[in-house]
Structure 1
Amino acid sequence: MSQSSRGDSVRARVRMEAGDRCGYCLSRQEFVFAPLEIEHIVPTSRGGSDEVENLWLACRLCNSYKGTQIEAIDPATGGRYRLFNLRTQSWAEHFRWSADGTTIEGLTPCGRATVLALQLNNLLAVTVRRSWVQVGWHP
């Protein structure tokens, strides 16, 4: 198998396993303008690999805010925690939607640190989610 074919098959596998959604904000591919990106859970600059076990989907906004971060401060405790691991942790254990469906609330130190580090409730995201809620697309 050529390098390109392997890359295509890895991308297809990650996309399928992620359900064509951003692993952080849960935005679906059909509702975002840019293609969802292959995210390195542990960035290669921090020792992460290109193996499928270290890859997931992220929207461009979440991926750009994450950058090379692997940990962040929990605003409730002041402690430093690893960011949410898209492959090994359950979204519902660390996050929930606000009552109106527009913001993501962190339930654990990891969840709160991830919400803050990735700016999951930035003005653009909340504004777009509000529109998605109004037309019944979200959450």
Structure 2
Amino acid sequence: MSRRYIPVQLMAQILVDAGHRCGYCQTDERFTGSLLSIEHIQPIAAGGSTDRLNLWRSCRECNERKGAQHTALDPDTGERVALYNPRTQRWGDHFLWSNDGFFIIGVTPIGRATVLALDLNRPHQVIARRHWTIVGWHPPDCSELG
């Protein structure tokens, strides 16, 4: 997959649109010291464009795990479904936090497939969420997302 040039003005718009959190795992770059990347929601390899409606912010690990995927299998039904789209879908419609706030739970076919395909509960992420919870930084309020 070739990298596409993203104009500075468009990058600035995406930063405003998405804020400081990964569109998938909700990791806040201010807690990690690692800047989020701008990713193609519909991968270029799958015909996605480099325009505002197809760009969002994600952490490096979610972006790498997603790669050229735009669909995945729902582990409950075995059906192939589209992955979650942080630009057009509300996070809270497809995911919720476990009672302790450490784990992301997919509550729809799209949510379940995305949790599995992007491995949203990576062990080191869960450990970080535990620490962020102790200091009151987590879980984020996802009601306004999407």
Whether TM-score is above 0.5 comes out as: yes
Report the CA distance between 1:117 and its aligned residue.
0.1
Q: What percent identity do the matched residue pairs reach?
A: 51
Aligned to 1:50: 50
Q: Distance in 1 between matches of 2:124 and 2:80?
A: 26
Residue in 1 that maps onto 2:92: 92
Matched residues, number: 135
What RMSD, in angstroms, separates the aligned Cα atoms of the two structures?
Answer: 1.2
CA apart distance, 1:132? 0.7
Q: How far off is 1:113 after superposition?
A: 0.1
2:61 is matched with which residue?
61
Q: Per-residue displacement from partner, 1:77-131 (whole Å, max 9, x unpaired)?
A: 1111100011111100000000000000001000000000000001111111111
Alignment-derived partner of residue 75 in structure 1: 75
Relative to the length of structure 1, the TM-score reads 0.93
Gaps of 5+ in 1: none
Q: Residue 115 in 1 paired to residue 115 in 2? A: yes
CA distance in 1, matches of 2:116, 2:57: 19
Residue 33 of structure 1 and its aligned partner are, at CA, apart by: 2.8
In structure 1, C-alpha distance between the alignment counterparts of 2:25 and 2:103, rounded to whole Å: 9
Structure 1 stretch 33-42 or stretch 105-114: which is displaced more?
Answer: 33-42
- The one-letter amino acid of 1:9's match is Q
Structure 1 residue 35, shift from structure 2 partner: 1.1
For structure 2, the 5+ residue unaligned runs are 140-146
Helix, strand or coil at the partner of 1:76 = coil
Q: Deviations over 1:6-61 (max 9, x none)?
A: 71111111011102211001111201232100010011111000011100000111
Distance in 2, matches of 1:45 and 1:78, equals 24
Aligned to 2:106: 106
How many angstroms apart in 2 are the aligned matches of 1:86 and 1:73?
Answer: 18
Partner residue of 1:34? 34
